[in-house]
Amino acid sequence: MTVITRFAPSPTGRLHVGNLRTALHNWMYAQAQGGRFLLRIDDTDRERSEERFVDAARADLAWMGLVPDGEARQSDRFALYEDRFETLKAAGRVYPAWETAQELELKRKVLLGRGLPPVYDRAALDLSDADRAAFEAEGRSPHWRFRLDHDSAIEWTDLVRGPQRFDPSTMSDPVVRRADGSWLYLLPSVIDDIDMAITHVVRGEDHVSNTATQLQMFAALGAEPPAFAHEALLTGSEGKLSKRLGSLGVDHFREIGIEPQALVALLARIGTSDPVEPQVDPAPLIATFDFGRFGRAPARFDEAELAQLNARIVHQLDHDAVRERLAHGMGEAAWNAIRPNLSTVREAQDWWRVVEGPVPADRAPEDADFLAQAAQVAESIDWSDSPWQALTGALKNATGRKGKSLFLPLRRALTGQDHGPEMAALLPLIGRERALERLKG
């Protein structure tokens, strides 16, 4: 069996970090099993779906390195839905219901007021032909519900949550088609999963009850269902479900300088028993991907942890990987010198300005004579071989200074900073003429 997974966003808005995690895990599982990862655009909602969100979803996945092996759109598949709908209608598994939204809400409130679960009472099944004709005469159009089979429990073994069991008699027959003929999520998704030969559905635990309903739809259409993995939802760093997570997407992460490898490394492992590691290449993450490692507890997404992970990723990136994002003239030696001090690639621009200058004068009065002497020494040393060691060695012998009193005044005069990249790597980039100018003040 070839493993086939799918990521199925609705193009009614931008993808957020929870969506990205779902897409990543579908892609990773397909990669780990030598299978296929498909992108399905769930655009049955014609009023709210926008092409710009389709384009954005493709771009977001590409930024993360998630390349689908195929793409489909639900808006191209209405004829297929209609055909399968007629099959279910003929089998008595879908039926028309005529209640208005207001009438359904009233029924719901009455049941809740009696302390009962708000389960649909199947009143539509008791209507006579005359009743239905009267509704049609009023100008009403029915919505359509899938008729659940109450004879046996719905059971499956979830790849994350383990054995699951639902009593269908405690569930409402779900609406699958609106009165205007438009489709809701549940049935088209099942039809697509069958037609696209999806073997594994990976999604959030908020879909567990949907799965219970959809398993009966697979059976009603004579199809074997895919395996299901329902993952714990993301929570914010404060330990609660956070509305902020719903607004964090690729644009946000790019804006703050997050590398896609960092986001992939974090989302691949949070919620599992495996440590989060700064993997530039996703291959080790894919090789260890296992739904058995996922826990039931909410997965904690911490932007501070992401920032720390990002720095560790940046420290591994070679010059070729970042060349196009660096300042003009910043070569491999400069990148290698500056890289260990960076949290984001864009910070390299700030350090390159330190190299090229000008830098703010930062010298204590008591260091004036020392720096004047340093300028004289700098004029005499060999700049072709380890000038920092030559400069500090000569000054140590001449002045008796060592440690912080030796190095800090030099760093401040040469860079305007108290901390930064190793001066042994930075001074050759600054060069003799600029260094002399800064030491002389």
Binding-site residues for ATP, in ranges, read 243
Antiparallel, parallel or unpaired: β 143-146 and 4-7: unpaired
Q: Which residues fall in the annotated binding site?
A: 243
Q: How far apart are CA 14 and CA 276, in angstroms?
A: 26
Q: Report the residue count for the chain.
A: 441
98: which 2 tokens? 């005529």
Q: What is the three-class DSSP state of 222?
A: coil
Question: Which residue, chain included where needed, has tokens 């977001």?
Answer: 60
Type of residue at 306: L
Judge contact between 14 and 53, C-beta under 8 A: yes
344: which 2 tokens? 């984001």
Judge contact between 99 and 63, C-beta under 8 A: no
Judge contact between 429 and 440, C-beta under 8 A: no
Which H or E run contains 371? Answer: helix 368-380
Q: How far apart are CA 335 and CA 326, in angstroms?
A: 9
Q: What is the three-class DSSP state of 51?
A: helix
